[in-house]
């Protein structure tokens, strides 16, 4: 392998890194001012099935007062994983990446959908995801290091 080929392969994102970068971008669409969560699903051929983020049900447009009380609105927010699961059927997803560790309920749902690997960036202390994934043999991995979404501009490039 030539030096440029070796260099390019080292710079290529792993599938989990790629997934986490896409989940991060998806989180930027969230309308929740307190917690922005993004998620992405990959099939068994490492193809993107879909991306999703936490937010309100489509078509619901609350007034500004709705967003002022986080505790009052939490029960109305749809989790990114719930929105993501609406995009695929059971047994079609190998890997999910989420910007936040799935809550217990979302982890149970991902198990029911047959997901084999779950990657997350931020911990969620109230989640029982570790115990649930261990019981069902799902690989649950925290991935805090992933490349910048936008590379710095290099004006010395040919």
Whether 4 shows a pLDDT value over 80: the answer reads no
pLDDT tens, position by position, 39-63: 999 999 999 999 999 999 988 889 9
Residue 6 in domain: no
User: C-alpha angle with apex 93: 129 to 34, nearest 5 degrees?
Assistant: 50
Report how many domains make up the chain: 1
Query: How do residues 67-104 score in pLDDT, each as one tens digit?
Result: 899 899 889 999 999 999 999 999 999 999 999 999 99
Task: Record the pTM.
Answer: 0.84
Q: Write out the residue range of the structural domain in which residue 51 sits.
A: 12-142
Q: Is the pLDDT of residue 17 over 70?
A: yes
CA dihedral 126, 132, 137, 140 (to 10 degrees): -10
List, as own/partner pairs, every contact residues 62-70 make where C-beta atoms lie below 8 angstroms and the sequence separation is at least 24, other chains included: 67/33, 70/34
Q: Is the pLDDT of residue 6 over 50?
A: no
Is position 156 within any domain? no
């Amino acid at each position: 392998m030539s030096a440029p080929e070796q260099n390019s392969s080292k710079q290529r994102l792993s599938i989990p890194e790629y997934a986490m970068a896409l989940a991060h971008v998806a989180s930027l669409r969230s309308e929740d001012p307190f917690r922005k969560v993004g998620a992405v699903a990959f099939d068994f051929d490492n193809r993107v099935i879909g991306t999703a983020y936490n937010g309100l049900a489509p078509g619901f447009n609350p007034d500004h007062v709705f967003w002022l009380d986080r505790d009052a609105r939490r029960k109305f927010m749809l989790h990114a994983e719930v929105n993501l699961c609406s995009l695929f059927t059971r047994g079609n997803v190998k890997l999910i990446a989420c910007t936040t560790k799935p809550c217990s309920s979302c982890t149970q749902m991902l198990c029911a959908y047959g997901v084999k690997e779950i990657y997350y960036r931020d911990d969620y202390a109230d989640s029982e995801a570790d115990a649930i994934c261990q019981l069902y043999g799902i690989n649950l991995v925290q991935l805090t290091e992933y490349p910048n979404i936008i590379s710095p501009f290099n004006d010395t490039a040919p």
